[in-house]
Structure 1
C-alpha cells in the first residue's frame, strides 16, 4: 500500500520512516516534507499542510490507503474532517476533538467537568483582570496563550512582574496574534514532568512508552522555551504504578468525556503530565505526536507500525510490541539563535548510518544538489538506543563532537536528570 504523511519536521520524518519499514508499504509520501527525508527513501510532495483540496486530490490520484496527520495547526484547521468528507481515511482527530489542544481553556473545562487532575486556573481576555488575578495568586505562576503558539506560548513566571509582563505581551501587545487573545493563568505545579502518549479510537486506546522532553534551549534548563531540544524514553525512574494511575485518572475519563461531548477521539493523544506529591496531573494535552518525543519512541516499536495504525483505523485490536530493555535518547541540533531569529543555509554534516539515526526537521538541498543545508530553527536530531541513559549520551555526544556544527548548537545534558535520580 501507499501512505501519505502530512507535515515537514522531525516528527513526520520519524513517522514516515517507521511506516516505510513495513513489508506491506510500497511508498511513503510526505507533504511538504523536507529534503533530508529523501535520504531515507521517502518521497516529498510540494503541497503545504493548509492546502487540503490539493492534498485530497493527491491522495485520490495516488491511491493512498490512509493519511497520517502530523502537525497541530493542520488538525485545528479541520484537515481530518475534509479528508473524511472526501471519502478518505486519515489518522488524527476531527477539528472538534483536536480542540483539546487548540484551546487550553476548552481542555481545562473538560478536565474540570470530568474530574481530571490538573492545576487550578483562571481564563482572561481582559489584561487588568488577568493582572489582578496574578497579583492575588502570587508567583511562581504559569501564563499560557489559549491557542496554538508553536510550543512557545507558555511562560513559567518566577515573579509576579514576569507574569504580568507575559500577560501584557499576549493580551495587549498581540505577541501571539489570535492565539494569545485569551490567556489561561495556572497555579505552578512542582514535580517531574513526563510525556504519555496513547493511540486512540473512541474508548479504545493503546499506551506508548513514557518519555521526557527537554524544552529549554540551553544546558541546565536555562534559556527560552523551544519546541524541544531532546528527549529519552522510557523514563527509567518512573514507576509503572504512576503510569497506571495516569491511565485511570486522566486518559480514560478524558476519552470517555469526549465521547459524551459528541467529540469522539481518533488519533494520537499526548498527555503532558507532572508527577506531584498528589500524583500525576495534566499540564497540557496535544492532539498529535510530540516533537522530539516521536523520534525516540517509534524506534522502540518492534511491531509493524503501518499494520498497527490500519488496525486502529478499522476498529481492530493492534498487535503492538516494544523493546523491553534499554533506553532510546535523542539530541536536537538547532540553528544559532533559535527559538528567536536564526540564520539558514549552514552546510550540514553527513547523515549518520548504523545505530545512530539522523532525523531531519529543517533541511534543504543546495541549488546544485550536492550539499544539505539548514532550513529551520530545529535542523536535525541524532537518536540512538543503548542499555542506559549514560551509554546513549556517550554515543550521541561522541558523534556530535566529530561533526562540524558551526552555526548550530545543541544541549549537552539531554537525559542527565535520569542519571541524577
Structure 2
C-alpha cells in the first residue's frame, strides 16, 4: 500500500515513519516533507501543501492508495473536500469541520450546545468593547485570536496590562492577519493541562494515550508561548477517572455535536483539557495531531497505523493497541531567538540514533549534502525508557554530547512527572457550568 502524508514538520515525520514501519504500508510519500525525512526512507516530494491540484495529480500518477493530512492550514483550505471531489481517499476533516479549530467562537458554541465542560467566555470584534470587558473583569484571563494562529494565538494574561497589550496586538496591530482580528476572552482555568487526541469517524471515537506538552520557551514553564518545546506520554499522575470523564464528557459529545451540527468530523480530533478540582474542562479543540505530542505518541502505538486508518476509512473497527509500560519523552531543539527572530542555515551536529533514541526533523534543509537549520523548531529528540528520569538521562546526555552553536532546548521537559502530585477527580459532570 502507498500512502501520501501532507506536511513538512516533525509531526508529519513521526506519522510517516510510523506508517512505513507497519506491514500494511510499502512506501510513504511526504509533500513537501523535509530533507531529514529521507534518512528514514520516506520519499520527499517538492509540492507545496497548498497546491491541491498538483497533489491530486501526484496521487493519481503514483497510484497512491490514500492520503493523510498533518497540518491545519491545508485542512482549513479544503484539501479534503478537493480530494473527495476527485474520488480520492483521504483521512482528515472537511473544510466545514475544521471550524472546530479555525474558529474559537464556533468551538465554544459547540461546547455550550452539547454541555461540554469549559470556561465562560465572550467574543469581541470591537477593540474598545474588548478593553472594557477586560478592565471590568478578573485576572488572570485568557485572550485568544478567534482564527488560526499556528498554536501561538493564546495569551494567558496575569495582569490587566498584559491582557490589554494582547488585545492591541491581535485587534489593532493585526498580529495574526487582517482577517483574524476577532478575539475570544475566556475564563482562566486552574489545574493541570493535558492533550487528549482520538481517531474520529462521525460519532465513532477511538481515544489515544494522553500526553503533556510544554508550550513555554524557558525552563520552569516561563517565557513566550511556542509551538511546543517538548512532550511526554503517558501522564501517569493524572488519574484514569479524569481521562475517562474527558472521553465521555468532551470527545464523544463533540463528535456527536459535529454530526448534529451538519459538519461531521473525520480525522484526528485533539482536545486540550484542564484537570480542575471540578473535573476535566475543555481549553480548545484542534482538527489534527498536536506537535510535538505526535512524536512521542507514535512510539506508544504498537499496532499498524496504516491498517488502522484504512479500517476507519472503510467504516470498519480499527485495531489500536497502546503500550502499557514505560514512557516516551521528546525534547525540541530550536534556533536561538525562536519564536521571534532567529537565524537559518545553522550547521547541525546530531545525536546518534539507536533503539532507544530517535530524531524527528522539522525546520531543516540540505546544504552541500549536510542538514542545516531552516526554521524555528529544528528537530526533536525522542527516547523511550522505563521512567521519565531514565528517558531524560538518555536525551540530555545525547544533546550534551553534541555542539550546536545557535541552538537552544529546554532542560526540564517532563519535570511535572518527576515529582507529581497525583491528580484525581470524583466530580460527576452532570451539567455544564460557566
TM-score normalised by the chain length of structure 2: 0.95
Deviations 1:298-340 (A, max 9, x none): 1111111100110011111111111110110000000010000
- Tell me if 1:360 matches 2:361: yes
Partner Cα distance (1:286, 1:148) in 2? 10
Give the whole-Å Cα distance in 1 for the aligned partners of 2:39 and 2:347: 16
Q: For 1:177, what is the secondary structure of its paired residue?
A: coil
Correspondence for 1:80 = 80
Cα distance in 1 for partners of 2:282, 2:218 equals: 25
Aligned mates of 2:195, 2:405 — CA distance in 1: 32
In the alignment, the residues of structure 2 paired with residue 361 and residue 44 of structure 1 have an alpha-carbon distance, to the nearest angstrom, of 13
Look up the match of 1:268.
Answer: 268
Q: Is the 8 A contact 2:211 2:297 kept in 1?
A: yes
Aligned to 2:124: 124
Match of 1:412 in 2: 411
SS in 1 for 2:184: strand
- Say yes or no: does 1:217 pair with 2:217: yes
Alignment partner, residue 202 of structure 1: 202
Indicate if the aligned counterparts of 2:171 and 2:183 stay in contact, CA closer than 8 A. yes
Within 5 A, what are the aligned runs for 1:123-272?
A: 123-178=123-178, 180-272=180-272
Q: Secondary structure at the match of 1:249?
A: helix
- The separation in 1 between residues aligned to 2:358 and 2:42, in whole angstroms, is 15
Quote the Cα distance in structure 2 between the aligned partners of 1:7 and 1:314. 24
Report the 3-state secondary structure (helix = DSSP H, G, I; strand = E; otherwise coil) of the residue aligned with 2:129.
helix
Q: 3-state SS of the aligned residue for 1:206?
A: strand
Q: Aligned partners of 1:353, 1:401: CA distance in 2, in Å?
A: 15
Aligned-pair CA distance for 1:179: 5.3
Other structure's SS at 1:417 match? helix
CA RMSD of aligned residues (A): 0.8
Q: Is the 8 A contact 2:351 2:402 kept in 1?
A: no
2:142 aligned counterpart, secondary structure:
strand
Structure 1 unaligned segments of length 5 or more: list them: none
Show structure 2 runs of 5+ residues with no match.
Answer: 421-434
Question: Is 1:149–1:179's contact at 8 Å kept on the other side of the alignment?
Answer: no
Q: Rate the CA distance shift 1:359–1:398 in 2: closer, same or farther, 3 A.
A: same
Question: Take 1:169 and 1:305, find their aligned partners in 2: how far apart are those partners?
Answer: 41
Query: SS of 1:392's equivalent?
Result: helix
Counterparts of 2:404 and 2:341, CA distance in 1: 18
Specify the SS of the correspondent of 2:405: coil
Q: For structure 1, which segment, 114-123 or 347-356, has the greater mean C-alpha deviation from structure 2 after superposition?
A: 347-356
> Aligned partners of 1:384 and 1:165: how far apart in 2?
39
Q: Deviations over 1:37-73 (max 9, x none)?
A: 0001101111111101110111111111100000011
Q: How many angstroms apart in 2 are the aligned matches of 1:179 and 1:219?
A: 34
Aligned partner of 2:432 in structure 1 is none
**Distance in 1 (alpha carbons) for counterparts of 2:391 and 2:239:** 21
Aligned to 2:286: 286
Q: How many equivalent residue pairs?
A: 419
CA deviation map 1:22-41 (0-9, x unaligned): 22222100000000000011
